[in-house]
Structure 1
């Protein structure tokens, strides 16, 4: 993903609406006109990369003043649709907690996620208590590095936290994923992948063909899954 300062500089130099270059003072005034409050000195620091961890609200305010979608700062789309007012999606994080975790265990705890993000060294530190605040919507203004750290932990596109269009596609895929996990498919495929080196090409081909046929004709899975292991009488 491109550095925040690089994206902000590009938008100020070549605004998508065709206006001339936007100065720090003009951008600050535009943010204020929209009800926000970002000093031109802070905008200068952001553009220089001296400051690189703006809040979620700052992302939204800067994007709104420049006429773009805030997802652009996170590697997502720039286009802002008519009447669209994007911001932090309060259900996004809870959806990831529910859906994205290893198949052989339940959801990650806030403590585990906080430890993983903080120990990586790439996204600063975050506390378990703050993650709980985000999950309960007690807080809705995480900083950029928090957003990137959470996205990285769950393997999500950072723009997922802001972009309703992207979220609709991802959530649809997650619904299917949850259904497959409930059937035991995810656990089975994970175990199969771990042992693929022990299988002959014929066995791997048979596994793929079995899944294909089960999906096409709806006659059930061809291999014993977590919830449908064969009884001792059939082994």
Structure 2
């Protein structure tokens, strides 16, 4: 998924609604909510001179502007009532567990490092840092790393911020994962995805898994990332 330049999205968010934020006003709004971003840095982001903010910067800007952080990575604009979206390391753990070629275990951090670096547009990310993101030891990845990780796993970047989207995606991934372990034919899998109601599909998969004693991912039998 191609994401529009951060500068374009930030400028649009600043111009939306009845209030049009200047850089100084936006920095003040961020500060009033407990964040800290200088008006100089905001100016650089809006001009495109800087284009790799941290996830916390993205979240603070989104909070001040009243938009969902996912908006800045190609996702939805509107916040649901009571939502306080943040970067969620569990999402990365879910992708490692659920997204890998059939017949083998999860990708290693070294494999992901190589994949992200090979693209070129996302910069470099080390295996050590990926492990820290998985464990939650590091919890403030930069935008390009988020985009690179999403690209490797074939996910929408907003998956990392949007719990509603992540819930839907994880259901589909868990279903596919179990069906692959059960050896379900790909044609049947496609029919399931395209024609069945999600609740019916889940019941079918759960029944198959129970009958053949195959645990769904996330139930204590997940492969680990080394």
TM-score relative to the length of structure 1:
0.78
In the comparison of the two structures, how many residue pairs are matched? Answer: 196
2:8 aligned residue? 6
In 2, distance between residues paired with 1:212 and 1:103? 19
In 1, distance between residues paired with 2:180 and 2:132? 28
1:98 aligned residue? 97
TM-score relative to the length of structure 2:
0.81
What is the 5 A alignment of 1:220-231?
none
Q: Following superposition, which runs of at least 4 residues in structure 1 exceed 3 angstroms of deviation?
A: none
In 1, distance between residues paired with 2:101 and 2:115? 15
> Which string of whole-angstrom CA distances, capped at 9 and with x for unpartnered residues, describes residues 1-48 of structure 1?
21110000011122xxx3321000000000001100000000000000
In 1, distance between residues paired with 2:134 and 2:191? 38
What is the 5 A alignment of 1:26-65?
26-65=25-64
1:170 matched to 2:192: no
1:84 matched to 2:86: no
2:68 aligned residue? 69
Shift of 1:70: 0.3
Are the structure 2 counterparts of residues 22 and 99 from structure 1 closer, same or farther at C-alpha, using a change threshold of 3 Å? same
What is the 5 A alignment of 1:56-205?
56-185=55-184, 189=186
**Secondary structure class of the residue paired with 1:84:** coil
Shift of 1:181: 1.6
Are the structure 2 counterparts of residues 130 and 212 from structure 1 closer, same or farther at C-alpha, using a change threshold of 3 Å? closer
In 1, distance between residues paired with 2:166 and 2:39? 33
**Secondary structure class of the residue paired with 2:78:** coil
User: Where do 5+ consecutive residues of structure 1 fail to align?
Assistant: 190-207, 222-235
In 1, distance between residues paired with 2:134 and 2:44? 31
**Secondary structure class of the residue paired with 1:182:** helix
> Which string of whole-angstrom CA distances, capped at 9 and with x for unpartnered residues, describes residues 147-170 of structure 1?
000000000010000001101101
Q: Which structure would you say has the larger Rg?
A: 1
**Secondary structure class of the residue paired with 1:91:** helix
Shift of 1:89: 1.2
Cα RMSD of the aligned pairs, angstroms, is: 2.5
Are the structure 2 counterparts of residues 212 and 26 from structure 1 closer, same or farther at C-alpha, using a change threshold of 3 Å? closer
1:233 aligned residue? none
Shift of 1:119: 2.0
In 2, distance between residues paired with 1:80 and 1:30? 18
